[in-house]
A and B are shown apart, each in its own frame.
Chain A
């Protein structure tokens, strides 16, 4: 089982207490009414499909209840960092060719 560090509880806790919640750092447009259909579609549905370090949201749903962000390598499943909502994404360290390969949409 994976152990995930919750930045609010400040503890490494079992994966079973957590829930994955999609790609991180996607800001809701300030004024949806001004969006074109294509922009709104992109906001709602278009996500990257990273093979490597991926910034994503998780929720400590069976714990403190908070959403937080995590940088996880989708190949090794290793959590590089977890951080509070509102903080900037820590830069990932390239460890090899597997990192940051992105399948562009």
Chain B
């Protein structure tokens, strides 16, 4: 059986960790220009900016590298009225994209979650062979793993071995 999936690291992207209390999310959404998702694992998108809700008061924002100062500026402007914490974590992680018909099975070699329950357009923080990662299902057969930089060789190594095993039919 032919194997048709790919594993690739993605170019640098802008990433922020945003923390704020529930009562401030309306002001945050207004400043960002789109509504922050309200339940954990949901994503929202506006142009090339996305927001993923990771915890009760925590979101991850992604954007192109050059759009970062714009976001920082617009949120800093409302800080006195809507207290929050916005941290640039762009270089902390490297993104890996796994796409193809075997993508879900490839990830299941090291992720204990029931990936069939992770719907398209949703994302979660979880664990990948003891490494904490953020896993987003971009499309039915396309996932993105955000992995802390120093763990990337380990995660890529595991995925490479898994790909090799799939290719020779193990």
Contact = CB atoms under 8 A, between A and B. Distances in A.
Bound together: yes
B41 interface: yes
B73 to A, nearest CB: 28
B54 A65 contact: yes
A62 B56 contact: no
Contacts of B125: 62-65
B107 to A, nearest CB: 14
B6 interface: no
B126 A64 contact: no
A12 to B, nearest CB: 9
A5 interface: no
Nearest to A18: B127
Interface string A1-37: 1000000111101101100000000000000000000
Contact of B55 (A11, A13, A14, A65): A65
Interface string B69-91: 00000000000000000000000
A64 B55 contact: yes
A59 to B, nearest CB: 11
A51 interface: no
A62 B132 contact: yes
Contacts of A72: none
Q: What range describes how many residues of A lie at the interface? A: 10 to 19
Contacts of A17: 112, 126-127
A16 B112 contact: yes
Interface residues of B, number: 14
A14 B113 contact: yes
Contacts of A10: 40
Contacts of B55: 8, 63-66
B56 A13 contact: no
Interface in B104-149: 112-113, 117, 124-127, 132
Nearest to B125: A63
Given A1-B112, A8-B40, A16-B127, A64 B56 contact: yes
Contact of B56 (A1, A8, A11, A16): A8
A14 B58 contact: no
A65 to B, nearest CB: 5
A62 B126 contact: yes
A14 B108 CA distance: 13
Given A9-B40, A9-B41, A65 B58 contact: yes
A64 B40 CA distance: 8
What 5 A-B pairs have minimum CB-CB distances, sorted nearest first? A64-B55, A14-B112, A62-B127, A65-B55, A16-B112
